[in-house]
Structure 1
Amino acid sequence: MPRHNSGPRGAHQQRPGGERTGRGGDSRLRIIGGRWRGRKLAFTPAEGLRPTTDRVRETLFNWLAPDIRDARCLDLFCGSGALGLEALSRGARHCDFVDTNSGNLQRVVAHLETLEARSMGTCHGGPADRFLEQAAPGWDIVFIDPPFEQGLAAPACRLLDQRKLLRPGARIYLETGAGEASPELPADWHLHREKRAGGVIYRLYFTPGDG
């Protein structure tokens, strides 16, 4: 899915099964499951946006299928918001979207309004670490897909753990570049699934607790 936060992540380009470029230079993301399945939402390509393929999203949400219903989600480094929107489509109760790019967040608000789901999402501008330093706890699922090779994943994970922002048995999705060193994570996070797709490695972790 396209994401952006705190710097470039490679130029936008079409990738198989991912977003398509529409008229006027806009691109489109497609929701691939749930009540909004097949809906296409426009976003404006920007420096640093890096689309993730439909195939990766489909795999991720297959992993999350037992846990998504009524979940409270957090989409850090949200970009176009495709992961959070996909979660809402599949039954999540609410999603917080966080990004430094105000244009990205404006589009997420527009997407929520288009889907008649404005009350299901809250958008937060600014760096992920600043948001987490002030956030209230209680997330069931967190999506962490930061710009590659900028060392942003580990601090976010550390704050989630240190500030006890996750519910017991929470799920954390982490996407990094295949050439990056694995970020240091809390010792009690359990790696549940891991796959590679091209230059991306994506993982799902469980925290201690239920499940």
Structure 2
Amino acid sequence: MRIIAGEWRGRKLSSPKGDATRPTADRARETLFSMLASRLGNFEELRVADLFAGSGALGLEALSRGAAHCLFVEQDRAAIDTIRANIAAFDARSRSTVEAVSVMHLRAAREPYDLLLLDPPYQTGAGSVALDRLKRLGWIGPATWMATETARDETIDVDGLSIDAERRVGKGKLTLLRLTDPDATAG
């Protein structure tokens, strides 16, 4: 796995050992960030959260492209160690925070994030459950983009969120979402 573009383009990423995580393949990451770039223009100064972070590849890709800060959320110990090692290798400590907790146990956000990147375990429905919870806890605002990677046949369905785009890549599906009604934030 390598960073696709930006400041750290071509630099290698470490992956957690074992099969507890499923890192997003370079091709899927390239497709996802192309989809996001066509909507966002650039990633400069964005506040990003990489949820179900695994190796941290999605968040580090956003930082490489200019994001101001990334919160990495992961509960698997080996994955947390890998995320921290990748952050250190890229000298990104000042722009990164790692939370060793389940996404389902996150607290209310102080303010909405600009971009939420979710790569939950396939076929669990965890992406929909997490997005519903994060919407209620103020993580999602009128300007927030959400991106998920799920199994090809898995559906993201959350009241108040609408699908902007979907792409099938390999065994997965990338979905971009927005608030259906910008006034339907935390409730």
Alignment TM-score, normalising by the size of structure 1: 0.78
**Equivalent residue, structure 2, for 1:147:** 121
The answer as to whether partners of 1:98 and 1:128 remain within 8 angstroms in 2 is yes
Cα deviation, residue 63, structure 1: 2.0
Partner in structure 1 of residue 80 of structure 2: 105
What is the RMSD computed on CA atoms of the aligned residues? Answer: 1.6
**2:108–2:138 Cα contact (<8 Å) kept:** no
**Maintained 8 Å contact 1:75/1:95:** yes
- Gap runs ≥5 in structure 2: 183-187
Q: Which amino acid aligns with 2:159?
A: P
Where do residues 1-211 of structure 1 align in structure 2 (5 Å cutoff)? 29-65=1-37, 66-131=41-106, 133-180=107-154, 182-187=155-160, 189-207=161-179, 208-209=181-182
Structure-2 separation of matches of 1:154 and 1:44: 25
What's the offset of the Cα at 1:68?
Answer: 1.6
**Contact 1:109 1:123 survives alignment (8 Å):** yes
**Structure 1, residues 62-84: CA drift from partner, whole Å, max 9, x if none?**
12221521110011100000000
CA drift of 1:104 comes to 1.2
1:94 Cα deviation after fit: 0.4
Shift of 1:186: 2.6
Which residue of structure 1 lines up, in the alignment, with residue 185 of structure 2? none
| CA-to-aligned-CA distance 1:88-115 (integer Å, 9 cap, x gap) | 0001000000111122112211211111
- Could you tell me how far 1:160 is from its partner in structure 2? 1.6
Stretch moving more, 41-50 or 85-94:
41-50
The answer for the alignment partner of 1:4 in structure 2 is: none
Normalising by structure 2, we get a TM-score of 0.87
Count of aligned pairs: 178
Task: Summarize deviations over 1:122-169 as a string: whole Å, max 9, x none.
Answer: 0011211102x3443321000111001222112211112112222322
Counting aligned pairs with the same residue, the percent is: 37
Give ranges in structure 1 of 5+ residues lacking alignment: 1-28
**CA drift at 1:46:** 1.8
